[in-house]
Structure 1
Amino acid sequence: MKTRIHLLVLGLITTWFFTACAPYLNQPLQNSQARLGSESGMYEALTSLPEPQEKVVAAVYKFRDQTGQYRPTEVGASWSTAVTQGGTSILLRALEESGWYTTIEREGLSNLLNERKIIRSSRQAYNEQQGGEVDTALPPLLFAGVILEGGIISYDANTMTGGAGARYFGVGGSVQYRQDRVTVYLRAISTSTGRILRTVYTSRTVLSQKLDAGLFKFVSFQRLLEAETGFTYNEPTEIAVREAIEKAVHSLTIEGIREGLWNLKHPEEMNAPVIQQYVREAEINPNRDFLGRRRNQFERGRIAVGGSLGTFRYAGDYPNPLYQLSGEAHVQWQLSSFLSAGVEVGRGTLAGEGFYQEDFNYGLVNTVWRTFPQMRFSPHIRLSGGAISAQSQRRWLPKAVVGLGAEYLLNNTVGIQAGVQYHYVFSDELDQMAQGKFNDYFYSANVGINLYLGRRTR
């Protein structure tokens, strides 16, 4: 009993250490002092742009939240907006930090004009009191060559959710996550012609995580041990919005350089790493989905031929089942990028230790559904129907197969696959013994190779 108690306590300590150390060591136990705000992941790329030949005078009247989205909540209603309403301030700072723009005040233009009126009237009143000549004129306002428009146009909550957990004899834990997405559009407009010079859009995900672990266990008679711990992490939405806006400014600046809208101080810096990295990103971006995964990265041929080796595990009327060698060959026709159909033939052995052993041949017609056909790694579901026959009997019995597996593509031609299957025989005489009211069945697992030939599928 003491050993069990020690093991439980040790398990609790281990669980606490791996799941909760970081939050416990960083608990807000006292008020913190004001500090400079943390920078986003785009700040370094934004501030490392090459120097401009001449800064662009840019005006921003309003960079608004156009989503109309309120903060998602699991209980009740929330009247708090999902994203910050200070997009203009974030954009103006990003423009300043880039080193490419001279920003002028336009959001609070009425306040600026009123203040200039106050200055002129004060100077005029002072001039009348002193009886002298005082210049009441103010320097003219700086005008913009480019107006920047756009806004935060989308906030999509719960674009991806998931989690996992396990509990065994009162000890367990779970983890959950949620991913949101914010999207920003930014365009540059020429003030002399009104022409839209360039439009860019960027997106950024917002991650939320929850992890908890607990123990609920009777360690002895009338002795109950209960403990729990955990933490939740919610990424600030403002940081995600700021990084998306900084990415938009970064993209707009480089697009303007590439199209000759504004020039570099040193033209040879067109090959600077920060520009070349953006060019590579822009080239592959059309083939990425909203989760950042590459689309059409791999395209399978119309015909796939291959084979596999594996094992059978008998589950019939004889006891003590054994794992025995099996093999198969197959041909598949791609009906679409997701769905294929084909035929397969194979041979394997079913055995129960000391009682039963028999070689079998089988043939199947199958369908395979792939979940991510254009990705290197794709899980799949296999449904098959056919017949199986014992080598000694030459009697064919119908069967159905359900399987789960995955394929890893080395390139567009060669793929490595693995899977597990459940074989249900519509008879209780597979092992030549009809006993009980259930039909015979068995399991299999295999690893194989596929060679894709012919025209590619999309």
Structure 2
Amino acid sequence: MKKGIIWVCLQLMLVLTSCGAYLNQPFVQSRARIGENTSPASIIQQYPPSEKIVVGVYKFRDQTGQYKPVQNGSTFSTAVTQGGTTILLKSLEESGWFRPIERENIGNLLNERQIIRNTRQEYANGKKVTMPPLLFAGTIIEGGVVSYDSNIITGGSGLRYFGVGASNQYRQDRITVYLRIVSTSTGEILKNVYVSKTILSQGISANLYRYVSLRRLLEAETGVTKNEPAQLAVKEAIDKAVELLIIEGVVDGVWKPSGGKKAVDVITNYYQEEKTLADNTLLFNRKQEVRRARNSMSALAGVSRITGDYSNPEFAFGFDLKFKYLFNNPRLSFGGSVGRFEIKNTGIFHEAFLTSSINFEYNILPYDKLTPYVYTGFGSVSKVNLDNTFFKLQLGGGLEYLLTNKIGLMLNAESIFMLSDDLDGQSIGTKNDQIWRVGAGINFYF
């Protein structure tokens, strides 16, 4: 029976945590294939230029000087590919907007043309030998990979129990590309853009280490690691930089797409939407989006427990209805609530109360779907028949998760500090009564 349980645990561990290792591990060699498509279809491909732009690229290289990070020792391998010019020329060609011409190895091209000219002259029998002229570039593109930041985010998690464990780790790097296009007639920099791209590495592992019987040790281990290729990340960043260069050029009137003003308007609207999203996104892909409307109503249900003059306090049911108004600063809000709760001491005291509160709330992450919040305020507690009223101060906090921008789920915890010691009908000692409340509910924004 014991061996059977261990075997089942081992199989579940292999299936649930390491499916990728067995479904994707390479058993055979793979043949060469067409390179991966790193970028999705772009709007610039829907609106080609009225006339393709002849462009030259002399160099587009790694300017970071960054070597590949390793855990131990040193390495002379660079973190960024040194073939940036080749990648950029491919991106320019794929965009459909440019006619790239050879400039990186212009010396080789001129030498070959000279060889052709000399060979033809030798067999021309006195005839004049001519060759077609080289295209000249109306613009040239400069720039490079300017930064490679390693380990901007690292982390992981793991669990081990009774010899069975599993863990995962992740690391994120960041690469930044600058690109500028220059007029060869005036030397003016027509456009200058930059793009950043993250590079993700992940690892999952699971293991088992158990004695199944005397001198019988069962040990098993499996795992998989996935690293995003840096070369593909560079290609994607360059593709995006070329796209941005074209779009900003269209918006600013540097060049024109076929389709006239209608095409310009479509591209401009697309650019404004993407720019707004980029302006509202901070480092680590945190989007600064105002998700919550000014007004909200919420309903919460939970339990309450008193710290008072009687012994053996118990949890008892309660609920609240809340209204909240957000100020211009989405971190701050003001609101009020009404509710009902019970306090109970086993075999001694059990009574229901009505409560009302005014609160000032602070949202810690107001632009995220999941935000912690804290609040403080004052209010009153009355018996159900409104016979006696007691004043209070409260301090609370919780978590809210937005299912949509209109509906959120809440977890809430609150401590109520009574300004008297008579809530439970007894006044013993020097400390006032205190009530702890925990609840969950739903919030509606409008």
> For this structure pair, what is the TM-score category when the shorter chain's length is used for normalisation?
0.7 to 0.9
Deviation of residue 381 (structure 1)?
Answer: 3.5
- Aligned partner of 1:25 in structure 2 is 23
- Aligned partner of 1:156 in structure 2 is 149
- Aligned partner of 1:455 in structure 2 is none
Structure 2: tracts of 5 or more residues without a match: none
**1:39-438 alignment, distance < 5 Å:** 39-42=37-40, 44-45=41-42, 48-121=45-118, 126=122, 132-133=125-126, 135=128, 137-220=130-213, 223-265=216-258, 267=260, 270=263, 277=270, 280-282=273-275, 284-298=277-291, 301=294, 306=297, 308-314=299-305, 321-327=314-320, 329=322, 334=327, 336-339=329-332, 346-351=339-344, 357-360=350-353, 368-375=361-368, 377-382=369-374, 384=376, 391=383, 401=395, 403-408=397-402, 416-421=408-413, 423=415
**2:406 pairs with 1:446:** no
Match of 2:109, SS? helix
| Counterpart residue identity of residue 82, structure 1 | A
Deviation of residue 410 (structure 1)?
Answer: 5.7
Stretch deviating more after TM superposition (87-96 or 146-155):
146-155
Deviation of residue 235 (structure 1)?
Answer: 0.2
Stretch deviating more after TM superposition (421-430 or 167-176):
421-430
Answer whether contact 1:397 1:430 (CA < 8 A) is retained.
no
Deviation of residue 148 (structure 1)?
Answer: 0.9
Seen in structure 2, the aligned counterparts of structure 1 residues 87 and 352 have a Cα distance that, compared at 3 Å, is farther
Answer whether contact 2:173 2:199 (CA < 8 A) is retained.
yes
Stretch deviating more after TM superposition (231-240 or 104-113):
104-113
| Counterpart residue identity of residue 49, structure 2 | P
Deviation of residue 278 (structure 1)?
Answer: 5.2
Answer whether contact 2:251 2:264 (CA < 8 A) is retained.
no
Match of 1:133, SS? coil
Stretch deviating more after TM superposition (136-145 or 286-295):
286-295
Stretch deviating more after TM superposition (314-323 or 377-386):
314-323
RMSD: 4.2
**2:3 pairs with 1:5:** yes
Structure 1: tracts of 5 or more residues without a match: 453-458
| Counterpart residue identity of residue 170, structure 2 | Y
CA distance in 2, matches of 1:244, 1:117: 38
CA distance in 1, matches of 2:164, 2:394: 39
Deviation of residue 445 (structure 1)?
Answer: 1.3
CA distance in 2, matches of 1:345, 1:281: 43
The number of residue pairs the alignment matches comes to: 438
Seen in structure 2, the aligned counterparts of structure 1 residues 355 and 85 have a Cα distance that, compared at 3 Å, is farther
Deviation of residue 418 (structure 1)?
Answer: 1.0
> Percent identity among equivalent residues?
38
CA distance in 1, matches of 2:306, 2:144: 63
Match of 1:243, SS? helix
Superposed CA deviations along residues 5-59 of structure 1, whole A, max 9, x for unmatched, are 32332222122113222222333344433333222133x4389444433321110
Superposed CA deviations along residues 298-323 of structure 1, whole A, max 9, x for unmatched, are 4664xx67554211154868669445
| Counterpart residue identity of residue 285, structure 1 | A
Deviation of residue 367 (structure 1)?
Answer: 5.9
Answer whether contact 2:318 2:339 (CA < 8 A) is retained.
no
Deviation of residue 330 (structure 1)?
Answer: 6.3
Superposed CA deviations along residues 87-134 of structure 1, whole A, max 9, x for unmatched, are 11100011112222211111112333334444445556x46xx9x426
